[in-house]
Structure 1
Amino acid sequence: MKRDSRLSGVLHVLLHMAEHEGPMTSETLAKAMQTNPVVIRRVMAGLREAGYVRSEKGHGGGWTLACDLGAITLRDIYNALGHPSLLAMGNRTEAPGCLVEQAVNAALSEAFRDAEALLLARFETVTLAALSADFHARLKQRGPLPKDHPHGD
């Protein structure tokens, strides 16, 4: 089963934007993410609607952050992405006639709800500012990246 990596990708994009002065075009962000600019525009539209980024058209335009990194949590971004599924597992059928499968579904459904609640609660405690601080600590430990490195901007 294919993983949904949109949350990871969007967080990556937002941290790049935080490190860059001025607007970043969809093309520049797509290059950093090794994807198509249309994918970037589609994902960023939800973030714009939530008020986390803004966009300007025309020469010198692009995407910029619209609020402080300390004010945005992983849960906020998850919500802006439309609440993608957190778990790859699920029940075999949603409305089984078999009593055994009903018992299995009841146990699994409760465990899945608990796991999702725990993960979402954790998402609420992590801000983009914390991710940025972690990046800067790693950068300080490693030393500056060369300019030709894809993430050396």
Structure 2
Amino acid sequence: MKRDSRLSSVLHALLHMAEHDAPMTSEQLSRCLGANPVVVRRTMGFLRRAKIVSSDRGHAGGWRITADLSALTLRDLHVALEKPDVFAIGHRNEVPECLVEQAVNAALDGTLAEAEALLLRRMGEVTLADVAADFARRHAARGHQNKDQRNDA
């Protein structure tokens, strides 16, 4: 089953953009993501419509973040991507005549709705600034590890 990785890709791209002082082209972002530039443009188009990024054409053009990273949440990005399915679990038959299957569907519906609400609530608490800060901590720790390894040699 194919997973929808657009949210992960968008987060990855936005973190690269946040670290970059100038606009980034679709080609630059595609190299960061290991994706086709057309896919990058299509995905970034969702963010442009949500006014999270802007784009300029031409030699000095590219994508730039226009939203405040400390106010932008994972849920905002999920919504900007047109709310892809959170779970890949589904019904065997959407409109069953079998009473057993109706009971199974009802149990799944309630459980999945509760789980999705919890996940979306948590996604609303995590900002892009939080993710960027985590990246910065990891980057700093790796820098110290590499420095310590060089000193041990």
**What's the TM-score once normalised by structure 1's chain length?**
0.93
TM superposition shift of 1:67: 1.8
Distance in structure 2 (CA, Å) of the matches to 1:2 and 1:41: 21
Distance in structure 2 (CA, Å) of the matches to 1:76 and 1:3: 20
**What is aligned with 1:73?**
73
**What is aligned with 2:109?**
109
**What is aligned with 1:95?**
95
TM superposition shift of 1:27: 0.3
Q: Does 1:130 align with 2:130?
A: yes
Runs of 5+ consecutive residues of structure 2 not aligned to the other structure = 147-153
TM superposition shift of 1:2: 1.2
CA shift digits 1:91-110 (9 cap, x unpaired): 11111000010011111110
RMSD: 1.4
Distance in structure 1 (CA, Å) of the matches to 2:20 and 2:51: 19
Runs of 5+ consecutive residues of structure 1 not aligned to the other structure = 147-153
Distance in structure 1 (CA, Å) of the matches to 2:133 and 2:34: 24
CA shift digits 1:38-67 (9 cap, x unpaired): 001001111011110000000110000002
**What is aligned with 2:11?**
11
TM superposition shift of 1:18: 0.1
**What is aligned with 1:151?**
none
Secondary structure in structure 2 of the residue aligned to 1:18: helix
Residue identity over aligned pairs, in percent, reads 58
Secondary structure in structure 2 of the residue aligned to 1:69: coil
**Higher-Rg member (1/2):** 2
Instruction: Give the counterpart letter for 2:119 in structure 1.
Output: L
**What is aligned with 1:58?**
58
**What is aligned with 1:26?**
26
Distance in structure 1 (CA, Å) of the matches to 2:97 and 2:133: 52
